[in-house]
Amino acid sequence: MNRKTTRIAVATFVAAAGLALGLGQMPTRAGDAPKTITKQPAKAIQTTDISLDQAHAILAAATAKAAEINTKMDIAVVDAGGNLKAFARMDGAWIGSIDISIKKAKTARFFDMPTGEIGKLSQPGGPLWNIEVSNGGLITFPGGVPIKGADGTIIGAIGVSGSTVENDHTVAAAGAAAVK
């Protein structure tokens, strides 16, 4: 770096540090008069989350659908942040499917789409190839579905495991449909 470049870099750093400290002024280029940054109150973001009552209704609808199609399922419901909200393991459901159902629910929420759709994108050579190893492990085959509130906002997700992926998806979709 030459002296002029060093001065500009230092001025930029000092200006950024001043903004971080709330000093409110920033030069636009070396030698220019500083511009005053108007501080405005931070705007809160509005989030909607799944309620425990909704999570229980989802579990009830999903277990009813699983019984109707004669399968035993592990069913996980996560909130808007991808945290486990409710879980049911039907009598006789596979122990190994517990983790899979939770990961399906998280995957559906992390990407706001059914896990089967993510699976299509994660095939060898696809744009999401190898995504399964991210986020502490994802599941990209059917059985995870986002849950939308009455206004269409995604408020959580359901993940189901214990049968064929087609049955897993059917049960997950029945659970997600329980929220109106």
Q: What is the CATH number of the domain that holds 136?
A: 3.30.450.150
Q: What is the residue range of 27's domain?
A: 3-36
State the pTM of this model.
0.75
Same domain, 125 and 97: yes
Same domain, 74 and 141: yes
Say what the pLDDT of residue 34 is: 64
Residue 127 belongs to some domain of the structure = yes
Q: What is the DSSP string of 64-78?
A: HHHHHTT---EEEEE
Same domain, 139 and 100: yes
Same domain, 32 and 56: no
Beta-carbon contacts of 96 under 8 Å, excluding residues fewer than 6 positions away, are none
Residue 86's φ and ψ, nearest 5 degrees, are: -155, 155
The count of C-alpha atoms lying within 13 angstroms of the C-alpha of 39, restricted to the half-sphere facing its C-beta, is 8
Residue 42 belongs to some domain of the structure = no
Confidence of residue 79 (pLDDT cuts 50, 70, 90): very high
Cα 5–chain centre separation: 43
Residue 61 in this model has a pLDDT that exceeds 50: yes
Whether residue 64 contacts residue 71, with contact meaning beta carbons closer than 8 Å, is answered with: no
Residue 169 in this model has a pLDDT that exceeds 70: yes
Using alpha carbons only, what angle is made at residue 144 by residues 178 and 113, rounded to the nearest 5 degrees?
Answer: 95
Same domain, 13 and 97: no
Nearest to 70 by CA among 88, 92, 55, 96: 92
Which amino acid, residue 19? Answer: L
Same domain, 96 and 122: yes
Residue 153 in this model has a pLDDT that exceeds 60: yes
Q: How many domains does the chain have?
A: 2
Q: How many angstroms separate the most distant Cα atoms in the chain?
A: 77
pLDDT of 118-134, one tens digit each? 999 999 998 999 998 89
Same domain, 156 and 92: yes
Same domain, 92 and 156: yes
pLDDT of 2-17, one tens digit each? 555 444 444 444 444 4
Confidence of residue 25 (pLDDT cuts 50, 70, 90): low
pLDDT of 135-149, one tens digit each? 888 999 999 999 999
Same domain, 165 and 96: yes
Please give the average per-residue pLDDT across 10-28, as a whole number. 48
